[in-house]
A and B are shown apart, each in its own frame.
Chain A
Amino acid sequence: MSEPAPTLTSRSADLAERSLARKRQRPTRRLSRLVVYALLIVTSILMLGPFYWMLATSFKPAADVFASPPKLIPNPWTLENYRFVFHNLPFTRYFFNSVVVTGSIVGLNVVFGTAAAYAFAKLRFPGRNALFFLLLVTLMVPFQVNLIPLFRMMVILHDVNSHLGVDSYSALILPGMIQVFGIFLMRQFLQSIPDEVLESARVDGASEFRILRSIVFPVAAPGMATLAIFTFLGAWNDFLWPLIVISDDAHKTLPLGLASLQARNTINWGNTMAGTALTAAPLILVFIVLQRRFIEGLAAGAVKG
């Protein structure tokens, strides 16, 4: 196949050229499509297989967990592992704790993060850039740097009031209540609101808080959803900080509860997998319902942030 030299410059010749180029790709396409699907399916098995194995193992009696050859489908199957987990560990409590802590962190971040982001994006005031820089600098600091001082802060708080500080919700919520990353993300987002809209609302006599409530929040809803997804994932899956500040079962979150089950019980993997499945289930369910939102939100956040 020799390449025809592009001598004609008219639009129709150009179009003909394009369709020719497309036609030339066709025969290879059919084969490559087969390869594409094969690769995609193999990858899906690699990505979903471990989750399936978790689920299958959680329904197996102890003797079958490492059976050889492996039992792909639990037979006989049992609910004994789930019974064990619920009897020996307060898993519903862990779930409840995760919901309370994550809900608080997401709510606080969305409201206060958006409020601050609005001021930084759309209002003029002395010191605006300096204060924003003050916040921005902390993005460079990994959480582990704050870990020990924050822990001691929570110990002191606990001494002052035994309902606060270590082994309480406050310890889990306070350090993450307003994250700079969220402000940064929302500021990018809010800069796209035209100043004229805000200005006309001000002319109509609306206060900044009124504007925030009736213009900024509705317009910024997609951005706030992205922010909510980011903080939700971070808070729900957080492990190191809860590991440091929580030692009592009453305030453990799901990942922490699972880690203690896993460490306590290395003999019966069926039990551990039941706990793992219970820990993973809420998020997987949320994901199945909101998967497009989550994926596109995270991708958008990644591209924006």
Chain B
Amino acid sequence: MTAAATGIERARQGPPLLQLSGRRRQRRFRQYLPAYLLIAPAILATLVFQYIPIAFSGYWSFTEFNGLISPKWVGLANYTALLSDPKFVKSFFNTVLFVVMGMGIGPPLGLASAFLLNNTVRFRAFFRAAYFLPVMTSLVVVATIWKILLNDAGIINQILRFFALPAHAWLSDTTTALPAVTVTSIWQGFGFETVVFLAALQAISRDYYDAAAVDGANWWQRLRYVTLPALRPTIMFIYIIGIIGSFQVFDQVYVMTLGGPINSTRTIVFDLYDRFRTLQLGEASAVAYVLLAILATLSYVQIRVFERR
């Protein structure tokens, strides 16, 4: 470290015009050495903990592999097996349904509450913090709390009974288990969406609204022609990271239902975990690569969106 540092100082002191070409190359190297040293840990960690695993799981996805005997090449067999495996197909559609329900309801709710908070309200900091609390909380905690709320004898059913509405076995009914997991996830992400939308709303200049008011624009026109266009990048951001995150749903499912009842809450990552647990490492790797294909496409869109900003 010190050698590199003094190297740079010496290089800077010497008049560049008088350097010999052999020494110049050495000087060049010494000049760049600090930069390479600064990035070396990051590059090394990324190669070891990202590139090597990516390569291996790619390779294993084309093999029959249980972790005990060395992998045997089977070509695309794992991928075709997945397509005809009802468990995987079910996981895929459950995940898509989870994403659609969650993203259909969550961000609009967050936007609505951001609008509420964007009024001149007292205790805004309190409301914001209250909504944000679940965002900070581990999903395992959130899911455990909701598991007791949704219990057959739990408070939600008791409230429903109080209003003479039918109680329901939310988590043990195949038709309501996935929506129940989705509601839990929406509840957890709501505060994040609120806070991000609120920050975006507050960044919109007052002048636009004043100008719109002068032009006689009503609230709908102000929303349609001032607010929403200004929020467009934020809405894109929330949806892209929301969709990417939702495709990876696992913790809630693990805690609340373990994929059941009858695979009705089995998701892509839960399917991967289940195959890992039962030592179907080849198929599990293929699941991982299917997920990669979906998410890489979405991330590519995300990066393009940010480059434009």
Contact = CB atoms under 8 A, between A and B. Distances in A.
A123 B35 contact: yes
A297 to B, nearest CB: 10
A27 interface: no
Give the one of A46, A140, A243, A273 with max B CB within 10 A. A140
A36 B121 contact: yes
A69 to B, nearest CB: 7
A272 B154 CA distance: 14
A244 B12 CA distance: 51
A144 B53 CA distance: 10
A53 B42 contact: no
A73 interface: no
Interface stretch (B85-93, B97-105, B137-145): B137-145
B148 A145 contact: no
Interface string A114-127: 01101110011110
B248 A116 contact: no
A57 B154 CA distance: 11
Interface stretch (A78-86, A149-157, A219-227): A149-157
Contacts of A51: 133, 145
B299 A140 contact: yes
B288 A283 contact: no
A210 B2 CA distance: 10
B227 interface: no
Interface residues of A, number: 104
Contacts of B146: 50
Interface residues on B, range: 35 or more
Contacts of B173: none
Contacts, number: 296
A183 B216 contact: no
Does more than half of chain B's interface fall in helix, strand or loop, or is it mixed?
A: helix
Given A144-B291, A287-B136, A210 B5 contact: yes
Given A141-B292, A272-B148, A44 B141 contact: no
Contacts of B147: 262
A128 to B, nearest CB: 8
B289 interface: yes
Given A69-B158, A144-B248, A112 B145 contact: no
Nearest to A286: B136
A146 B154 contact: no
Give the one of A124, A131, A141 with max B CB within 10 A. A141
Interface in B7-63: 8-9, 12, 32, 34-36, 38-39, 41-43, 45-46, 49-54, 56-57, 60
Interface string A14-33: 10011001100000000001
Give the one of A113, A143, A259 with max B CB within 10 A. A259
A150 B1 contact: no
A146 B36 CA distance: 26
Given A142-B292, A259-B140, 8 more contacts: A123-B38, A145-B289, A149-B57, A240-B251, A255-B140, A258-B141, A287-B136, A298-B192
